[in-house]
């Protein structure tokens, strides 16, 4: 058994704790899991069934490497969610009894975002500092904006929608009016990126009609608009890094040399883009470990084909495969149902899953008369579990096939006063106007050159109308600088009329700080320990322009007195609060007059001002869970897909999410509603690809296998759609379990 290797300064006591913890860690694993932990001689795939401890093994391997003295920056660990990343970090910290510094644990998105930020790498793809990351909602708005005056293009899409509607006999009703499918365009562009299709590629073969329309009429314009406005979407983060790795071998080489060990979870769902990113970084690295389960491939619709896992031996020479077959998660009953279901799939490697766990409760299969009764009853059962059986709320999950189905539960949960946690990009909370606005104000504290955020703030400054904002935007463009520079210039002129119109340029900025400090900047968790003198003297790196390039700005915008006063108030407060702690944000918002604006605005719009304030208050409570503003802003921008609640509020809420987002998670009690034909398995309209029944079955399988103790599957006899009553048949999967 391994003995612990501790840092030279560790006290004997800490040494003993560490060694005990490592022993415990290995003792709690089975033989195959231990083998996987110690294996490092060629690329390793742990091809294992559901709940067999794949993630546990990967996390333990990470902690074990750290405990052996491998430096965290030498291990690249790609997890499926940021939550899993934090969990991995915590485990390693608990073993080494110290904060994990310079670690590279994260999702493809967060790791790419970090790489893009290093050494101004973003400049290679024409981005400037403080680029803004768009979520799906903002992507949609962006496409709407670029198509605003393009009647011809919009007509193309309207005609397409009309045609699809006419073909789709089932959903015909009078009065259908096609609308431009912006959301569908966003998914389509995301799909292009996942398939590694660049906007400047030649038109690829095999696109369907809708994809072709988007590729030829929207994709390029969309990408160009993002670059010109200093914006990126989630897909770009990875795509740009792939492009940079291909075009700048020295950058790729740096990472190849840095990462001695590479660990990746859930590889069955890698899409082409992620595969390429990973393969580039792996190179001929032998100390590469990944885990996956071909029965849980559920992202085929997003371009993941399972190729990586199914052809692992072809991808990597001397590949070694370890199989795990003992399930530690679920009762015998749950596992039997899951095995019965998945055995109907033909395209699978096949596994013999077993468990030593108890027989457990029978599966609860319930039929209800209609959708509303189903929702009511499920919510009632959940209340009983919480109130009468003292089940912790976060051990209960409602897993739906689509987001829309989840939303149908929200209303009832709110009425029942049952706290629930919804993966937050679907969560309406961040889209509430006042919350969104507060977020923009907070964003510019951390990212002064984020023009996208400034644009959303400016017209809220008293006295500023759309015209002034437009002028400032144009002026920034003319001067080839950011809006912040123009605003600062205007505000300074107000404070000191004699200040010449000279400002530092915001174009190419090279923060003059050592790499160690940059590393801290890119990993906010590290900007904490004041007493750490080993890693350079900058504990909170400044992102102010450090270069000496000065540029004369040509600003001929005349502000009136009121505009000037209000702008300087904002800029002054921004300066005061920019490095502040998150608990000071309320003061910042007060000082800049945010609450006054809120009160006035809610009166005009007849919104409840108290409710508006409460919403902002909730946002600030979330912020307080973070050490600094950068962490908070990054979290919201990058990680908003996963839930933004604090750990405390999460523990008090039941989980409401799609089966897709529940991957890798586990709960004591799982509710799987709406198992009727057409909803599970889902049946898409004609313009979308037919759902692959095997992928649907895997999805149902993932849903069932999230449960430790009980599964509650339900279906309804009828539902209403456009004032028509539709009769439903129960899902075929119910017969198969």
Binding-site residues from annotation: 48-55
Backbone angles phi, psi at 51, to 5 degrees: 65, 20
Stretch binding ligand ATP (CB under 6 A), from 44-52, 188-196, 515-523, 537-545: 44-52
From the list 17, 45, 51, 582, which residue makes contact with ligand ATP (rule: CB under 6 A)? 51
Pick from 30, 285, 412, 579 the residue near ligand ATP by CB under 6 A.
Answer: 30
Binds 662: which of ligand ATP, Mg ion, none (CB < 5-8 Å by kind): none
Which lies closer to ligand ATP via its Cβ, residue 60 or residue 717?
A: 60
User: Residue 543 to residues 4, 521, 546: CA-CA distances in angstroms?
Assistant: 40, 9, 8
- The rounded distance, in Å, linking the Cα atoms of 108 and 308 is 16
Q: Which residues contact 515 (CB under 8 A, 6 or more apart)?
A: none
Polymer length in residues for the chain: 737
Segment 665-724, which members bind ligand ATP (CB under 6 A)?
666
Using the contact rule CB under 5 A, the part of the chain among 148-156, 304-312, 378-386, 656-664 near Mg ion is: 656-664
- The set of residues, in sequence order, having a beta carbon less than 8 Å from that of 414 and lying 6+ positions away, is none
Angle at 424 between CA 417 and CA 292, to 5 degrees: 115
Smallest separation (angstroms) from Mg ion to the CB of 51: 8
Task: Count other C-beta atoms under 10 Å from residue 216's C-beta.
Answer: 13
When asked if residue 664 is in the footprint of ligand ATP (CB under 6 A), the reply is yes
**Binds 142, which of Mg ion, ligand ATP, none (CB < 5 to 8 A, cut-off by type)?**
none
Minimum CB distance to ligand ATP smaller for 67 or for 631? 67
Q: Based on CB atoms, which residue is closest to ligand ATP, 294 or 485?
A: 294
Q: Which of ligand ATP, Mg ion, none lies near 33, with the C-beta cut-off 5 to 8 A by kind?
A: ligand ATP
* CB-based contacts of 621, cutoff 8 Å, min separation 6: 646
Indicate left, alpha or beta for 694 from its phi (over 0: left) and psi (-120 to 50: alpha). alpha
Rounded to a whole number of angstroms, the CA Rg of the chain reads: 27
The string of DSSP codes covering 6-67 is: --TT--HHHHHHHHHHHHHHHHTS-HHHHHHHH--SS-EEEEE-TTSSHHHHHHHHHHHHHH
Q: Which partner, Mg ion, ligand ATP, none, binds residue 43 by CB below 5 to 8 Å per kind? A: none
The option from Mg ion, ligand ATP, none interacting with 28 (CB < 5 to 8 A, set by class) reads ligand ATP
329 near ligand ATP, rule: CB under 6 A:
yes
Nearer Cβ to Mg ion (574/706):
706
Of 63 and 232, nearer to ligand ATP (C-beta) is 63
Q: Which does 354 bind (CB under 5 to 8 A by kind): Mg ion, ligand ATP, none?
A: none
- Applying CB under 6 A, which of residues 4, 19, 55, 400 lies at the interface with ligand ATP? 55
Q: How open is the CA angle 535-522-576, to the nearest 5 degrees?
A: 90
Core vs surface per residue 547-569: b (16+ CB within 10 A) or e: eeeeeebebeeebeeebbebbbb
- Determine which residue in the list 47, 50, 116, 334 makes contact with ligand ATP, applying CB under 6 A: 50
Q: Which residues are annotated as a binding site for ATP?
A: 48-55
Using the minimum distance from each CB to Mg ion, give the nearer residue, 54 or 709: 54
Which of 11, 28, 685, 689 forms a contact with ligand ATP (CB under 6 A)? 28
Q: DSSP strand E in 236-387: where?
A: 261-264, 288-292, 320-324, 364-370
Question: Does residue 664 belong to the site contacting Mg ion (CB under 5 A)?
Answer: yes
As measured in angstroms, the least distance from the Cβ of 103 to ligand ATP is 20
SS3 512: coil
Looking at the Cβ atoms of 54 and 447, the one nearer to Mg ion is 54
Give the Cα separation of 83 and 31 in Å (integer).
Answer: 27
Compute the least distance from the CB of residue 324 to ligand ATP, in Å: 7
Identify which of residues 329 and 504 has a Cβ nearer to Mg ion in the complex: 329
55 lies in the site for Mg ion, by CB under 5 A: yes
User: Which residue stretch of 13-21, 54-62, 183-191, 576-584 sits at the interface with ligand ATP (rule: CB under 6 A)?
Assistant: 54-62
Of positions 43, 53, 305, 681, contacts ligand ATP by CB under 6 A: 53
Listed in sequence order, the residues at least 6 apart from 593 whose beta carbon sits closer than 8 Å to its beta carbon are 462, 566, 569
The closest alpha carbon to 63, from 37, 41, 39, 45, belongs to: 37
Residue with Cβ nearer Mg ion (351 or 715)? 351
Residues 6+ apart with CB under 8 A from 479: 485, 486, 551, 553, 554, 555
Q: Does 54 bind ligand ATP (CB under 6 A)?
A: yes
Q: Closest CB to ligand ATP among 37 and 559?
A: 37
Residue 117 in the binding site for Mg ion (CB under 5 A): no
Assign residue 303 a region: left if phi > 0, alpha if psi is -120 to 50, beta otherwise? left
- 56 in contact with ligand ATP (CB under 6 A): yes
List interacting residues with Mg ion (CB under 5 A). Answer: 54-55, 664
List interacting residues with ligand ATP (CB under 6 A). Answer: 28-30, 33, 48, 50-56, 293, 296, 328-329, 664, 666
């Amino acid at each position: 058994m391994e003995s612990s290797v501790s840092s030279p300064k560790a006290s004997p006591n800490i040494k003993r704790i560490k060694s005990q913890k490592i022993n415990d860690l290995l003792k709690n694993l089975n033989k195959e899991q231990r083998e996987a932990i110690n294996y490092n001689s060629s690329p390793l795939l742990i091809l294992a069934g559901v709940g067999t401890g794949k993630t546990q093994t990967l996390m333990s391997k990470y902690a074990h490497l750290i405990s052996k003295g491998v430096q965290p920056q030498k291990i690249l660990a790609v997890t499926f969610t940021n939550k899993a990343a934090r969990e991995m970090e915590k485990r390693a910290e608990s073993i080494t009894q110290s904060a994990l510094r310079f670690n590279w644990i994260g999702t493809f998105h967060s790791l790419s975002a970090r790489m893009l930020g290093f050494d101004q790498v973003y400049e290679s793809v024409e981005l400037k500092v403080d680029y803004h990351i768009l979520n799906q909602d903002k992507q949609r708005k962006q496409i709407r904006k670029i198509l605003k005056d393009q009647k011809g293009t919009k007509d193309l899409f309207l005609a397409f929608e009309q045609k699809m509607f006419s073909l789709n006999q089932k959903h015909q009703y009078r009065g259908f009016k096609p609308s431009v499918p912006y959301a569908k365009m966003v998914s389509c562009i995301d799909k292009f990126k996942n398939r590694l299709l660049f906007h400047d590629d030649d038109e690829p073969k095999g696109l369907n009609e809708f994809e072709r329309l988007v590729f030829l009429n929207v994709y390029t314009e969309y990408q160009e608009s993002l670059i010109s406005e200093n914006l990126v979407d989630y897909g770009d983060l990875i795509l740009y890094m792939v492009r940079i790795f291909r075009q700048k071998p020295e950058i790729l080489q740096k990472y190849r040399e840095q990462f001695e060990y590479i660990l990746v979870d859930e590889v069955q769902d890698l899409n082409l883009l992620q595969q390429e990113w990973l393969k580039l970084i792996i190179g001929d690295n032998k100390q590469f470990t990944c885990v996956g389960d071909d029965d849980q491939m559920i992202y085929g619709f997003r371009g993941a084909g399972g190729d990586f896992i199914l052809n692992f031996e072809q991808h990597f020479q001397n590949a070694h495969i370890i199989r795990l077959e003992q399930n530690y998660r679920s009762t015998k009953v749950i596992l039997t149902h899951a095995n019965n279901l998945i055995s109907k799939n033909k395209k699978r490697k096949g596994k013999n899953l077993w468990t030593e766990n108890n027989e457990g409760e029978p599966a609860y299969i319930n039929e209800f008369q209609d959708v509303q009764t189903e929702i009511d009853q499920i919510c009632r059962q959940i209340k009983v579990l919480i109130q009468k059986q003292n089940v912790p709320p976060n051990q209960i999950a409602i897993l739906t096939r689509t987001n829309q189905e989840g939303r149908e539960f929200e209303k009832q949960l709110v009425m029942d006063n049952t706290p629930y946690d919804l993966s937050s990009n679907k969560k309406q909370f961040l889209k509430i106007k006042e919350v969104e606005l507060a977020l923009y104000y907070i964003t510019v504290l951390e990212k002064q050159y984020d023009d996208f955020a400034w644009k959303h703030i400016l017209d809220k400054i008293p006295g500023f109308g759309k015209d002034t904002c437009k002028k400032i935007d144009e002026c920034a463009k003319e001067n080839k600088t950011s809006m912040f520079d123009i605003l600062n210039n205007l505000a300074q002129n107000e404070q000191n009329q004699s200040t010449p119109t000279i400002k530092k340029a915001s174009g190419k900025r090279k923060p003059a700080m050592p790499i160690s400090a940059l590393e801290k900047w890119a990993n906010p968790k590290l900007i904490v320990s004041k007493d750490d003198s080993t890693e350079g003297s900058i504990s909170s790196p400044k992102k102010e322009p450090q270069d000496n390039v000065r540029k004369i700005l040509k600003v001929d915008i005349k502000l009136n007195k009121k505009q000037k006063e209000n702008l300087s108030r904002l800029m002054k407060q921004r300066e005061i609060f920019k490095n502040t702690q998150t608990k000071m944000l309320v003061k910042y918002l007060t000082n800049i007059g945010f609450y006054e604006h809120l009160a006035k605005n809610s009166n005009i719009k007849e919104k409840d001002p108290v409710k508006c304030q409460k919403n902002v208050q909730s946002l600030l409570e979330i912020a307080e869970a973070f050490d600094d503003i950068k962490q908070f802003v990054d979290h919201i921008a990058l990680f908003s897909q996963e839930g933004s609640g604090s750990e405390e509020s999460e523990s008090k809420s039941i989980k409401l999410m799609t089966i897709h987002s529940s991957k890798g998670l586990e709960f004591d009690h799982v509710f799987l509603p709406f198992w009727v034909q057409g909803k599970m398995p889902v049946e898409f309209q004609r313009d979308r690809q037919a759902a692959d029944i095997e992928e649907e079955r895997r999805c149902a399988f993932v849903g069932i296998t999230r449960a430790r103790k009980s599964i509650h599957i339900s279906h309804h006899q009828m539902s209403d759609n456009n004032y028509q009553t539709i009769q439903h048949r129960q899902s075929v999967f119910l017969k198969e379990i």
